[in-house]
Amino acid sequence: MTERSETLFEAVGGIDALRRLSNTFYDAVLADPLLAPVFADFSRTHVEHVAVWLAEVFGGPTGFTDGLGGHQSLLRSHLGLSITEEQRLRWMELMTTAVEKELPDDELLRRRVLEYFDWGTAIARDVSADPVGQDLGDPGPTPRWGWDGLA
Answer yes or no: are the C-beta atoms of 83 and 124 closer than 8 Å.
Answer: yes
133 binds ligand HEM (CB under 6 A): no
- Element spanning 62, H or E: none
How far apart, in Å, are the Cα atoms of 98 and each of 18, 71, 127?
A: 10, 24, 24
Nearer to ligand HEM, 42 or 104 (CB): 42
Q: CA 135, 138, 142 angle in degrees (round to 5)?
A: 120
Is residue 19 at the binding interface for ligand HEM, with CB under 6 A as the rule? no
Stretch that binds ligand HEM, among 1-9, 11-19, 31-39, 107-115 (CB under 6 A): 31-39
| Residues of span 47-106 touching ligand HEM by CB under 6 A | 49-50, 53, 74, 77-78, 81, 83, 87-88, 91
Interface residues with ligand HEM (CB under 6 A) are 35, 38-39, 41-43, 45-46, 49-50, 53, 74, 77-78, 81, 83, 87-88, 91, 117, 120-121, 124
